[in-house]
Amino acid sequence: MLSCGLVPAINCIEIPPLGPACTTQFVYGLSATVVDDETGDPIDDAVLTLRDGNYVEVMELLPTGSYAGAGERPGTYDLTVEIPDGPTQTFHQIEIDADECHVIGLAVEIRVAGDDIIVLPSNFACTEEARPGVIVKVINAVTGVPITDAIVTLTEGDYHEELEGGDGDEYVGAFERRGIYSLVVEAPGFLPETIDTVVVTENFCHVNTTKLTVALRRSMQ
């Protein structure tokens, strides 16, 4: 590369650095195949709906047999999978990123097993960490001081779990377990507190952690 300062006789034109050479290919943010888990047969009448805020899109069934959506549109989506005469399930907080040219497409295989829907990532790797579905911070309602000797329990039908913690100011549980729970918080000298509905959703890899702060009031006794 010539330097204008070193070659004064040449009228130099400053050329800005070139950016990436983008292709004209149209890239979908999410593609999915839907199959029967028992037979392996494709399901071509499923309804896959993507939502990102006010944006709603029904994924298109391509001639290749896969469903595609979020074309060149990065965002954080909820995906609802509806199987005619079968289950319906929603997966939350699916992040579609982009580089300088296109969205970075995610591909998944959706397997329908009875009343359950299983999603297997095809072209991206999930981390191996186990994420809690619920994190609860328990504090004194008057002073705001953390309560470290509380008993925090989650219940969903026959499922019952006492959350771990107390050494710090957080109690954790429902690791990698989606559900709609009832939460009860009890502590010596305080009135118990119940939250009837605590919803834990999931994305393709993990549950989405729900964080709560529960303030307890002193009992009169």
pLDDT at site 220: 78
Please list the pLDDT of the chain residue by residue as tens digits (221 residues): 445 555 555 566 665 566 677 899 999 999 999 999 999 999 999 999 999 999 999 999 999 999 999 999 999 999 999 999 999 999 999 999 999 999 999 999 999 999 999 999 999 989 999 999 999 999 999 999 999 999 999 999 999 999 998 666 799 999 999 999 999 999 999 999 999 999 999 999 999 999 999 999 999 76
Bridge partners (DSSP) of residue 172 are 135, 164
Indicate the fold that domain 134-216 takes in CATH: Immunoglobulin-like (2.60.40)
pLDDT at site 20: 72
Give me the residue label for tokens 């997966």.
91
Q: In the chain, where does the domain assigned CATH 2.60.40.1120 lie?
A: 28-121, 134-216
Cα–Cα dist 171/190, whole Å: 17
Q: Are 33 and 67 in contact (CB under 8 A)?
A: yes
pLDDT at site 169: 76
The pTM assigned to this predicted structure is 0.79
Angle (nearest 5°) at CA 183 between 146 and 138 = 5
pLDDT at site 19: 62
- Domain 28-121 belongs to what architecture? Sandwich (2.60)
* Burial class of residue 48 (count of CB atoms within 10 Å of its CB; 0-12, 13-18, 19+): buried
pLDDT at site 33: 97
pLDDT at site 101: 94
Q: Are 95 and 19 in contact (CB under 8 A)?
A: no
